Amino acid sequence: MSIAEFTLTRRHTTDRRSHVRWVLSYALRYWWLVVIMFIGAVGNAALSAYVPVLTGDAFNAMLKLPPETKVLLPLALLMGGSQVLRGVLQLGRNFGAEFLAQRVERDVRDELYVSLLGKSMTFHNLQPVGDTMARATNDVREVNYMFSPGVNLVVGSLIFLLMPLFFAPHYHWSLLLAPVLFTISYFVALRGYLKTLDPITEDVRETFGVMNTHLSEALDGVETLKGAAQEDAEVGRFTTNARVVRNNTVRQGDVEARFVPLLLFFITLAIGLVHAILLFRLGLINTGDVVAYFGLLLLLDFPTWTSIWAYSQISSGLAGARRILELINRENDLDQNALGYAQSMRGEIEFRLVTFAYPSSPSSPSPTGRGQGEGNEPVLQNISFKVKPGQTVAIVGQTGTGKTSLMKLVNRTYDTTSGSILVDGVDVRDWNLASLRSQISIIEQDVFLFSRSVAENIAFGKPDATRLQVEAAAKSAQVEDFIQEFEKGYETVIGERGVTLSGGQRQRLAIARAFLTDPRILILDDSTSAIDSATEDKIQRAIAAAARGRTTLIITHRLSQIRWADLIVVLRKGRIAAIGNHEELMRTSEAYSRIFRE
């Protein structure tokens, strides 16, 4: 079981050693559906084979002198009754396979979703969203199709393949020759077919993921795209990606069209019929036996035709399962530490020789999170300072000095490359991750809001909050005025990512969200940058009120916010250039005073 930031207690575990084992561990969880499918497949094939047997008996009865017409009605009733029963068994086979497919798809989606929530920001920053969505939607659906119709038809067709082998010796032992030769050549051809098909289906899945990634990026950045008048260029890129997907799909269709067992089937029919006629001429079998035997050979039609695309569906499903499992098994760099420290937080923070570098690939983080990003250029180097509970600390510096990176280490959005960060004297890696993050609230410059009501967005970190608590937080963040302007007030549903609101409105809603959770540590990452000057004074008073009694870290360029900080940390090129209060630093720090001159 891989480590994760977030896990749910699951009643069942899966075997993640390979994608085939993983899928089987899901299927065997519903063994009773597998049994229903298998019984239905055997019964369906056996009763299908019973029809040519009864047809042969009818021919023999009619060729006698005089014809035994009295046996025709019982044979007809027996044939009709057997096919009614066959229909019931076929329904059971299809029901078992479809129910199994839907259950497995549901469980795979559940495991993938929980796994994605448990991945660190390192993973999500490096993994393309479009590719993730392709795996979470299209690839998961391919796993469903692998079972129904894929496995359903393959199991049914394999049972059909056995019927001529089982019934042919009833007429003459040598009649096994044609179906045995067909079965052997069928599996030899099938092995080569799948060996050629597997990499192609893998390419189809991979190129679909690439196409989806570029589509996601284009839609996410549509404002930038339109602003630069690059619609034609993006259409060209999408067309190129779609063409690659089409070409791989055509390659798959070409392989399917060259499926050799189709030719083998018709050769088998010819060999089998000639063989039966020779036995008939030698007097070893009668006319009814020839008819019945040829009817049995016709049963090979089902496994031949269905295998053209049923095995292709299984190959696509396994390719999809491989991609999904690769995402689930992607090495993670953070552990939720469920048994870690989980006490009420006072808010003391200490940085001890902290160095941090972003990892270059999804697979680079170490399992412990303590060697993350090794070999990359550090964005922070040897950072050391201490914040007392209740203090307000301003982190200042030019763009690219590592201010935001420093803040993201406090709640373990990322882990340090070396050194340690202590909260209340306890290394953040030794805290229970949920307890640590629930007592730290971060308001970022790029605020994310959900396509939900205003009230739900404010109460996102505390979903059990009452309406009075939500309204109180809104008043503290100075957002109630514009909320009341909406026709539905707090029940107004805002657009995706809050696009229907101004930048200042989004940030004020985020501040209200932070007020409601009552954190012990409040981090403001340039959170008032989009607020107009008329609103700034109200926001400053709200932030000052929120900072009372809790540790507050502020990343800002506004002198009005920096002045009232208890401690100011100046970063330059990832290192601490100066530390102290405003008056001291204006006198002693060239790096600090340069910020305001520029």
More confident residue, 317 or 129: 317
CATH number at residue 462: 3.40.50.300
Please, which pLDDT band fits residue 382 given cuts at 50, 70 and 90?
very high
Same domain, 235 and 192: yes
Same domain, 558 and 513: no
The bridge status of strand 418-423 relative to strand 575-580 is unpaired
Looking at the domain assignment, is residue 75 inside a domain?
no
Same domain, 246 and 322: yes
Looking at the domain assignment, is residue 7 inside a domain?
no
Residue 249 contacts residue 265 (beta carbons within 8 Å): no
Q: What DSSP element (H or E) covers 524?
A: strand 521-525
Same domain, 493 and 529: no
Question: What is the residue-wise DSSP string for 377-436?
Answer: PPSEEEEEEEE-TT-EEEEE-STTSSHHHHHHTTTTSS--SEEEEEETTEEGGGB-HHHH
Same domain, 299 and 404: no
What is the reported pLDDT for 307?
79
Reduce the DSSP state of residue 296 to 3 states and report it: helix
What is the reported pLDDT for 9?
56
**How many angstroms separate the CA atoms of 583 and 360, rounded?**
40
Looking at the domain assignment, is residue 507 inside a domain?
yes
What is the reported pLDDT for 42?
93
Residue 300 contacts residue 161 (beta carbons within 8 Å): yes
Q: What DSSP element (H or E) covers 67?
A: none
Per-residue burial over 543-565, b = 16 or more CB atoms within 10 Å of its CB, e = otherwise:
beebbeebbbbbbbbbeebbeeb
- Positive or negative torsion for Cα 518, 521, 527, 532: positive
Please, which pLDDT band fits residue 365 given cuts at 50, 70 and 90?
very low
C-alpha distances in angstroms, 163 versus 38, 44, 465? 15, 11, 66
The bridge status of strand 567-572 relative to strand 575-580 is antiparallel
Given 496, 518, 540, which residue is the final one in a domain? 518
Same domain, 459 and 434: no
Helix axes 231-257, 301-329, angle to 10 degrees: 140
**How many angstroms separate the CA atoms of 436 and 520, rounded?**
10
The count of C-alpha atoms lying within 13 angstroms of the C-alpha of 31, restricted to the half-sphere facing its C-beta, is 3
Looking at the domain assignment, is residue 15 inside a domain?
no
Same domain, 489 and 511: yes
Tally the residues of the chain.
598
Supply 562's token pair. Answer: 């920096």
Q: What angle do CA 286, 68, 48 make, to 5 degrees?
A: 60
CATH number at residue 110: 1.20.1560.10
Query: Which residue in this structure is represented by tokens 């390979």?
Result: 18
**How many angstroms separate the CA atoms of 90 and 153, rounded?**
11
Radius of gyration of the chain (CA): 35
206-235 tens-digit pLDDT: 888 888 888 877 777 776 777 777 788 888
Lowest mean pLDDT, pick from 257-271, 380-394, 532-546? 532-546
Secondary-structure percent of the chain, ordered helix, strand, coil, rounded to 5:
65, 10, 25
What is the reported pLDDT for 252?
82
What is the reported pLDDT for 182?
92
Is the pLDDT score of 404 beyond 90?
Answer: no
Mean pLDDT score, 437-446: 82
What is the reported pLDDT for 492?
86
What is the reported pLDDT for 71?
83
Total domains in the fold of the chain: 3
Residue 403 contacts residue 360 (beta carbons within 8 Å): no
Same domain, 421 and 458: no
**How many angstroms separate the CA atoms of 153 and 175, rounded?**
26
Lowest mean pLDDT, pick from 82-86, 87-91, 129-133, 324-328? 129-133
Looking at the domain assignment, is residue 35 inside a domain?
no
What is the reported pLDDT for 47?
92
Mean pLDDT score, 374-383: 80
**How many angstroms separate the CA atoms of 197 and 312, rounded?**
7
Looking at the domain assignment, is residue 338 inside a domain?
no
Given 462, 492, 518, which residue is the final one in a domain? 518
What is the reported pLDDT for 364?
38
Looking at the domain assignment, is residue 185 inside a domain?
yes
What is the reported pLDDT for 506?
79
C-alpha distances in angstroms, 519 versus 301, 337, 465, 552? 69, 20, 15, 10
**How many angstroms separate the CA atoms of 321 and 172, rounded?**
46
Looking at the domain assignment, is residue 220 inside a domain?
yes
Please, which pLDDT band fits residue 589 given cuts at 50, 70 and 90?
confident
Same domain, 372 and 251: no
Q: What strand order describes the sheet that includes 392-396?
A: 440-443, 521-525, 551-555, 392-396, 567-572, 575-580
Domain limits for position 362: 346-439+519-598
Helix axes 152-167, 72-118, angle to 10 degrees: 150
Given 518, 552, 581, which residue is the final one in a domain? 518
Which residues does 436 contact at the CB level (< 8 Å), separation at least 6? 345, 411, 412, 423, 428
More confident residue, 39 or 126: 39
**How many angstroms separate the CA atoms of 411 and 205, rounded?**
36
Mean pLDDT score, 124-147: 86
Please, which pLDDT band fits residue 289 given cuts at 50, 70 and 90?
very high
Mean pLDDT score, 474-484: 81
At 212, the amino acid letter reads N
Nearest to 122 by CA among 255, 5, 290: 5
Residue 502 contacts residue 530 (beta carbons within 8 Å): yes
Same domain, 297 and 186: yes
Which phi and psi angles does 582 have, rounded to 5°?
Answer: -60, -50
Same domain, 130 and 218: yes
What is the reported pLDDT for 562?
81
Q: What angle do CA 542, 548, 553 make, to 5 degrees?
A: 85
What is the reported pLDDT for 418?
92
C-alpha distances in angstroms, 17 versus 30, 208, 546? 20, 25, 50
What is the reported pLDDT for 360?
65
Same domain, 461 and 497: yes
What is the reported pLDDT for 11?
61
**How many angstroms separate the CA atoms of 327 and 316, rounded?**
17
Is the pLDDT score of 101 beyond 90?
Answer: yes
Helix axes 261-281, 301-329, angle to 10 degrees: 150
